[in-house]
């Protein structure tokens, strides 16, 4: 479940109050990877004897602040480092990719062409092929998925900016808020990571783009050209447990577990 701001502050304070032992790996970050990390934790423990403590999502930026304070060993981020984070000595490594998908509660959703997406986001009354209203859900301006969509799909930066001028469109603050709203809202449309949809067993439908379904196999083959990367962020002074975790993710066992969660290892 997403944390409210007071709860996030409480969790952050608790993290600072205690430091991780050499046999514990403390991890947080983007909500889109929380369920994936919860699935990986027991396999990592069994392989290394190191217990992974998955802290409820602080978001990529909030987790970076906790990392800087020494309260976390590693961060899973949905975005690359910014200048301030790089200046702190953080190092980010892409360890996995999942498919960036558009999801909806509408069943069955029709295929969309890449060029149709910009029209949908700029229209005041977009429709699915059967005439059902498309209800767009926006994310915050600096959300990793929002930035990724704008980077991967031509024209979407301006189209999303146009949609933001509509006061009637909801804005979801977190990955969990977004996908929960997508489940409830008729005709919803919002972007998400395939691994989150699968691991959280969400009742939404993935939309195919240009006739290509956003499956792990199509992502891996290059047929589906919209990858969502996940970064493992390490501090300048990293713990032995953090080094072991990076090595585990790059190992054959780690790559296999990543695949089980709807991700392709960056080393494959």
Residue 119's CATH number: 3.40.190.10
| Span 155-166, average pLDDT | 96
Q: Are residues 191 and 248 in the same domain?
A: no
- The C-alpha angle 261, 42, 26, rounded to 5 degrees, equals 95
pTM of the model: 0.88
Count of residues making up the chain: 268
Shared domain check, 104 and 78: no
pLDDT tens, residue by residue, 29-55: 999 999 999 999 999 999 999 999 999
Q: Are residues 217 and 232 in the same domain?
A: no
How many alpha carbons lie under 13 Å from residue 211 in its C-beta half-sphere?
Answer: 0
The vertex-78 CA angle with 107 and 250, nearest 5°, equals 105
CA dist 100 and 63 (Å) reads 22
Q: How far apart are CA 229 and CA 60, in angstroms?
A: 13
pLDDT bin (cut points 50, 70, 90) of residue 56 is confident
Please check whether residues 142 and 109 belong to one and the same domain.
yes
Domain stops at, among 191, 206, 221: 221
Residue 20, pLDDT > 60, answer: no
- The residue assigned the tokens 């608790």 is 14
User: Which among 188, 267, 268, 260 has a CA at the least distance from the CA of 35?
Assistant: 260
Specify whether 134 is located in the same domain as 195.
Answer: yes
Tell me what pLDDT residue 183 has: 98
Residue range(s) defining the domain that contains residue 53 = 5-97+228-265
> d(Cα 147, Cα 17) in Å, to the nearest integer?
34
Show the DSSP H helices in the chain as ranges. 5-17, 34-48, 59-68, 83-87, 114-122, 144-152, 156-164, 175-184, 194-199, 216-221, 240-250, 252-260
The pLDDT of residue 268: 86
Percent of the residues in the chain that have a pLDDT greater than 70, as a whole number: 92
Number of domains comprising the chain: 2
């Amino acid at each position: 479940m997403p944390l409210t701001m007071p709860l996030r502050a409480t969790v952050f304070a608790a993290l600072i109050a205690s430091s991780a032992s050499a046999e514990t790996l403390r991890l947080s970050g983007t909500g889109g990877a929380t369920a994936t990390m919860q699935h990986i934790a027991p396999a990592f423990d069994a392989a290394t004897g190191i217990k992974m403590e998955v802290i409820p999502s602080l978001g990529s930026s909030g987790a970076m602040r906790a990392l800087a304070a020494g309260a976390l060993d590693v961060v899973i981020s949905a975005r690359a480092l910014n200048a301030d984070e790089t200046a702190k000595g953080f190092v980010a490594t892409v360890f996995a990719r999942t498919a960036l998908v558009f999801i909806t509660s509408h069943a069955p959703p029709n295929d969309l062409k890449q060029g149709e997406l910009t029209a949908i986001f700029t229209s005041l009354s977009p429709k699915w092929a059967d005439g059902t209203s498309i209800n767009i859900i926006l994310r915050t301006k600096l959300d990793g998925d929002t930035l990724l969509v704008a980077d991967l799909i031509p024209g979407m930066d301006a189209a999303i900016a146009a949609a933001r001028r509509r006061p009637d469109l909801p804005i979801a603050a977190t990955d969990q808020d977004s996908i929960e709203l997508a489940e409830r809202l008729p005709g919803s449309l919002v972007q998400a990571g395939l691994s989150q949809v699968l691991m959280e067993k969400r009742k939404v439908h993935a939309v195919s783009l240009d006739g290509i379904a956003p499956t792990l196999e199509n992502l891996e083959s290059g047929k589906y050209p919209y990858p969502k990367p996940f970064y493992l962020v390490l501090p300048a002074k990293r713990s032995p447990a953090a080094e072991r975790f990076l090595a585990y993710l790059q190992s054959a066992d780690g790559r296999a577990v990543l695949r089980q969660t709807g991700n392709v290892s960056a080393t494959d």
